[in-house]
Chain A
């Protein structure tokens, strides 16, 4: 019966080969669709952020062979920061298998995606920006404004100004002028500055700069008249360098101007030249390439000529490092979810669970090679921001230098406002907020049963 045996063997071999083939085609990949913007007015931010994100995913693939053997893949669609293009890219890429999360880095696109991703059950990451009330994960289960939302940013800036005076109480009687971009984004924090001014007893003057902000003479003359102790720059695009230049012209010292997260990049200060020297800005991630994770990226990715940034001088810039931190958070969320659901391609909902259990303390951050790059994060079901700390950096004319400790915003004061806003949203949309404690118990019970 040798013929029969040979036939049997060949069938077996063919069968195993088939299993191996289908196995390698379907499993072990986690996908990141990217709505990037490398063209248009915000290309500088887009190339830096998405470059950093891709560089980190590349590093994990090359250095570690993926996350526990699961390869990370990505695809890009150009949005030019336009909402309808972002939606088009979402619709185009959403059918890709194994999508982990969406990371648009655009408030407008993120807003248009909230309904869509909630229906499709995939996380939407809006690191450092996005809807403030989406911090409340009970109402927004799939939206994650990681590290910092606009309210925390405001509080972080006030805490920092307090530390400049010695302590928060010394802000009493001081005057802070807020120069904000004339857009929904710029106006979002007006009530929070008012609230904090009342709480800490300082005076706040909020001055609008109409979009795009390339003419600010009258605003700065007002500032000169008000003689504020500090100016907070809540700018956007060309408004930032123009503010710094006009401040110099009207004699306001740059080291008393503090920028927010959209006024903190190299692109905001370099066009202002000398006028930007001494300017301070908030950030969630330090800039510079001296951190181990960046050294790894340079060694593994850029020296292998697979780096995403066209200009290597931008390695370690503000947006590049934000992209790298964003990469760390996404990858660690996938890792957390894998620990629970298994080392395989996860569904969006499983990755959501991973984000809701994304706990990186300082020791873990150091182990990831990011000590000093960012502080820590602790995301929970109810708190999708994750108590990110902020730090402040000063422009010395050539690069940013960290000038403060890691500062914790006053979350306790902000939480009730966030919950009131998310409750309104829940009512408008007929959402019953999740019961986080019950969900946690249910997953524990499920984990206990084999």
Chain B
């Protein structure tokens, strides 16, 4: 679980090349994409990409920085989504941002409880205990129909995205809304990992005993990591349900989704913030591009099932190739590419 980058190299982003890159990306995301994109780009690619990137970012805090393996990510997404649904339904006077923050806090609370076994368990044993959370949350959502407002089918539809009278209901609005939430939380996460708390996370990850010796409160740090990570994942769940699918069903937050988020983190790069975005790009966007490419190449007449199988094979080979080339993930691959381009740096 060793990661290559240390939190320290992220300080002073405004002056470094990385900082310029971030500013450039934000300019494109806010300034250019909303002008040129199509509804397909927003609804089918960017919004789910942003939501899953955020979830991966949350998990990366926990797994990449603090070294606690979790298989319950999608359960926290579900907690966030259902909490936001119930808050907006039962406390309709709350503005949407407050609903989202409170939903994140509910997820954080769930994360704290789920993190308790981490005080005694490590590695695979911890993964198994977070697996229990995954099934427990699904069971609770299925068992207590009050949580889905007694909807007979258990599937609920999300309320409209309106902040202070401003509607984000169209495709571009949903994208900008998600982008803003993701940007804010990414800044928060960046502040966190460059702070002493972030260094405590890494200390606990690299050597728990050594961390304890130098005075890091290990139990508190672990729980904090669980809480913060679940907060971010919970908000990602709200985005997934409210901005992207506009419907929530417990089955949508299953173990497959948890694995998907974990793979995003591993492929993107453990212990790096941008790894979450790179990984989500590979796992979420690449299959769509492959599918579009395949359909364009072979035409509508081709059996879509066969096409799907071919895409899976291609994607699988790509992932294996990436990880052989760079076990530390796409983030490290990017670093290496940049170094090659600028030999002087």
Contact = CB atoms under 8 A, between A and B. Distances in A.
Contact of B142 (A88, A116, A132, A182): A182
Interface in A97-112: 107-108, 111-112
A115 B300 contact: no
A92 B292 contact: yes
B143 to A, nearest CB: 9
Interface string B137-150: 00000100100100
B247 A111 contact: yes
A78 B307 contact: yes
B52 to A, nearest CB: 9
A111 B305 contact: no
Interface stretch (B58-66, B71-79, B152-160): B152-160
A359 interface: no
B300 A76 contact: yes
A40 to B, nearest CB: 9
Given A39-B308, A185-B154, 17 more contacts: A38-B308, A78-B291, A83-B252, A84-B245, A88-B288, A92-B40, A107-B153, A108-B247, A111-B153, A111-B157, A114-B247, A115-B157, A115-B246, A116-B246, A183-B250, A184-B249, A185-B153
Given A38-B305, A108-B249, A132 B152 contact: yes
A209 B234 CA distance: 29
B304 interface: yes
A36 B304 contact: yes
A87 B291 CA distance: 14
Contact of A76 (B154, B245, B304): B304
A38 B310 CA distance: 13
- B contact face: mostly helix, strand, loop, or mixed: helix
Most chain B Cβ neighbours within 10 Å, of A39, A78, A116: A78
A78 B48 contact: no
A206 interface: no
Contact of A184 (B43, B45, B142, B308): B142
A305 interface: no
Given A39-B308, A43-B305, A92 B44 contact: yes
B309 interface: yes
Contacts of A76: 300, 304
Given A38-B304, A84-B244, A112-B247, A91 B154 contact: no
- Please name the 5 residue pairs, one residue from A and one from B, whose CB atoms are nearest each other, closest first: A184-B154, A38-B305, A91-B44, A76-B304, A78-B308
Most chain B Cβ neighbours within 10 Å, of A87, A184, A421, A429: A184
Interface in A30-78: 36, 38-39, 43, 47, 74-78
Contacts of A38: 303-305, 308
Interface in B288-312: 288, 291-292, 295, 300, 303-305, 307-309
21 contacts: A38-B305, A39-B309, A77-B304, A78-B307, A78-B308, A84-B244, A84-B245, A88-B44, A91-B40, A107-B153, A108-B251, A115-B157, A183-B142, A183-B154, A184-B249, A184-B250, A184-B251, A187-B142, A187-B145, A188-B153, A191-B152
A421 B151 CA distance: 8
- A contact face: mostly helix, strand, loop, or mixed: helix
Q: How large is the interface on B (under 10, 10 to 19, 20 to 34, 35 or more residues)?
A: 20 to 34
B6 interface: no
Contacts of A87: 43-44, 244-245
B39 interface: yes
Contacts of B40: 91-92, 95
B78 to A, nearest CB: 13
Most chain A Cβ neighbours within 10 Å, of B40, B247, B292, B307: B247
B304 A83 contact: no
Contacts of A183: 142, 154, 250-251
Contacts of B291: 77-78
A38 B305 CA distance: 5
Interface of B: 39-40, 43-45, 48, 142, 145, 148, 151-155, 157, 244-247, 249-252, 288, 291-292, 295, 300, 303-305, 307-309
A304 to B, nearest CB: 15
Interface of A: 36, 38-39, 43, 47, 74-78, 80, 83-84, 87-88, 91-92, 95, 107-108, 111-112, 114-116, 131-133, 182-185, 187-188, 191, 421, 428-429
A199 to B, nearest CB: 18
A314 to B, nearest CB: 14
Contacts of A184: 142, 148, 151, 153-155, 249-251
Contacts of B39: 91
A80 B312 CA distance: 12
Contacts of A107: 153, 155
Contact of A39 (B151, B244, B292, B305): B305
A87 B244 CA distance: 9
Contacts of A131: 153
B43 A75 contact: no
Contact of B152 (A75, A92, A421): A421
Contacts of A95: 40
A111 B247 CA distance: 7
A78 B305 contact: yes
Contacts of B251: 108, 183-184
B152 A429 contact: no
A77 B44 CA distance: 13
Given A83-B252, A183-B142, A132 B153 contact: yes
B102 to A, nearest CB: 20
Nearest to B42: A91
A132 B247 CA distance: 16
Nearest to A50: B304
A84 B154 contact: no
B245 A83 contact: yes
Given A131-B153, A184-B153, A187-B154, A75 B300 contact: yes
A107 B245 CA distance: 13
